[in-house]
């Protein structure tokens, strides 16, 4: 888990709502988080993951009780997830929506990694709590489980009916009080933290599916994830170039075009980049390579579609570029990862 990962303030706002409902002063939950109260009123304010964790630990200290994470999770909606929520809403099935959630989980507001595992009865959506401090694990898992079911209900336009819900935490003493907050049967003391959805429910047609909107949403999610995950350089001109290239990653932009976007002449752009120790070609290929590897690893797209997503004329042009970057073809690169089981894409794990 990258605790310096940037994220919107959405999760913190929900945490403070829970605090108020529990009779806890919101300011007490912000202690040590470096979040100014003024930032809570700013629409596009960003924080880092460690700051949200600090608020969670404060909330637990002042109002900790079994089921509090379930209360927090029920505040999440598709709109809470922004662009990812839009993409999930446009998916054809619940299965496709969960695949988007896993693939673009940098946008999912989770504090622990999520993964998908299939079995005969259906598919598990599992959370890895090992990255969390012990005192926050139960709360974060409860929040993730409840948030997942809340979002699923909005997708299906009815309550979801999971086959099983499991938690590694021990059962609380007052199960009746817990069930008032979370009216689903939970198996405590299990070996995993997750929800099992039935195959029949996963394959139901979602009422608001829209294939064109889904594809457009996926492309935008890919670019946004790349911007979050890609380590932007410090020098100002190179950083601006990276941002333009990420925003228009579906196009093969020439240096002249990027210079125009930045209101510079092409000659000035190259001179400034050289002074900062970078070249346009180097920055461009770094971003194309990172996005290509992400698409090969995390999506079922064939080479032709990946080439199109990256702005190449055809699969052959993309393959030549990929060989130049990695010394092997994209098909061979993907096959090596699958054979080794390193980063095996979930959509190929059957």
Encode the chain in three state secondary structure. Answer: CCCCCEEECHHHHHHHHHHHHCCCCHHHHCCCCCCCHHHHHCCCCEEEHHHHHHHHHHHHHHHCCCCHHHHHHCCCCHHHHCHHHHHHHCCCEHHHHHHHHHHCHHHCCCCCCEEEEECCCEEEEEECHHHCCHHHHHHHHHHHHHHHHHHHHHHHCCCCCCCEEECCCCCCCCHHHHHHHCCCCCECCCCCCEEEEEHHHHCCECCCCCHHHHHHHHHHHHHHHHHHHCCCCCCHHHHHHHHHHHHCCCCCCCHHHHHHHCCCCHHHHHHHHHHCCCCHHHHHHHHHHHHHHHHHHHCCCCHHHHHHHCCCCCHHHHHHHHHHHHCCCHHHHHHHHHHHCCCCCHHHCC
Residues 6+ apart with CB under 8 A from 99: 116, 346, 347
Rounded to two decimals, the pTM is 0.72
Angle, in degrees to the nearest 10, between helices 94-103 and 134-156: 140
Tokens of 170: 């021990």
Q: With 60 as the cut, is the pLDDT of residue 347 above it?
A: no
Average pLDDT over the chain reads 88
Strand pairing of 114-118 and 122-127?
antiparallel
Among 274-278, 287-291, 312-316, which stretch is predicted with the lowest mean pLDDT?
Answer: 287-291
Q: With 70 as the cut, is the pLDDT of residue 348 above it?
A: no
Spatial contact of 111 and 123, defined as CB atoms under 8 Å apart: no
Q: What is the pLDDT of residue 154?
A: 96
Q: Per CATH, is 230-348 categorized as 1.20.120.420?
A: no
Q: What is the pLDDT of residue 240?
A: 87
Q: What is the pLDDT of residue 1?
A: 66
In the chain, what are the domain boundaries? Answer: 1-64, 66-208, 230-348
pLDDT digits (tens, 9 = 90+) for 182-227: 999 999 999 999 999 999 999 999 999 999 999 889 888 887 887 7
Q: What is the pLDDT of residue 230?
A: 65
Task: Please state, for a pLDDT cut of 70, what percent of the chain lies above it.
Answer: 95
pLDDT digits (tens, 9 = 90+) for 97-108: 999 998 888 888
Q: What is the pLDDT of residue 341?
A: 52
């Amino acid at each position: 888990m990258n605790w310096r990962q940037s994220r919107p303030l959405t999760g913190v706002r929900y945490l403070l709502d829970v605090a108020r409902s529990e009779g806890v002063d919101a300011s007490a939950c912000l202690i040590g988080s470096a979040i100014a109260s003024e930032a809570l009123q700013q629409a596009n304010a960003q924080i880092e993951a460690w700051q949200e964790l600090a608020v969670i630990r404060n909330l637990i200290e002042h109002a900790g009780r079994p089921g509090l994470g379930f209360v927090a999770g029920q505040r999440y909606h598709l709109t809470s997830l922004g662009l990812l929520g839009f993409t999930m809403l446009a998916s054809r099935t619940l299965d496709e929506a969960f695949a988007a959630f896993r693939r673009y989980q940098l946008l999912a507001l989770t504090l622990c990694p999520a993964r998908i595992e299939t079995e005969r009865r259906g598919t598990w959506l599992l959370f890895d709590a090992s990255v969390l401090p012990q005192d926050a694990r139960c709360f974060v898992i409860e929040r993730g489980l409840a948030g997942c079911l809340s979002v699923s209900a909005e997708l299906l336009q009815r309550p979801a009916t999971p086959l099983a819900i499991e938690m590694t935490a021990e059962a609380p003493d007052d199960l009746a009080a817990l069930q008032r907050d979370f009216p689903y049967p939970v198996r405590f003391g299990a070996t995993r933290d997750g929800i099992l959805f039935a195959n029949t429910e996963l394959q139901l047609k979602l009422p608001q599916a829209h294939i064109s909107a889904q594809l457009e949403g996926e492309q935008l999610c890919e670019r946004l994830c790349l911007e979050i995950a890609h380590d932007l350089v410090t020098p100002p001109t190179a950083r601006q170039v990276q941002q333009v290239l990420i925003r228009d990653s579906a196009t093969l932009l020439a240096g002249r075009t990027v210079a125009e976007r930045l209101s510079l002449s092409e000659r000035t752009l190259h001179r400034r980049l050289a002074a900062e120790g970078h070249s346009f070609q180097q920055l461009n290929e770094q971003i194309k390579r990172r996005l290509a590897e992400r698409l090969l690893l995390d999506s079922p797209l064939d080479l032709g579609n990946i080439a199109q997503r990256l702005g190449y004329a055809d699969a052959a042009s993309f393959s030549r570029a990929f060989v130049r970057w990695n010394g092997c073809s994209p098909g061979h690169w993907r096959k090596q990862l699958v054979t080794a089981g390193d980063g095996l894409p979930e959509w190929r794990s059957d």
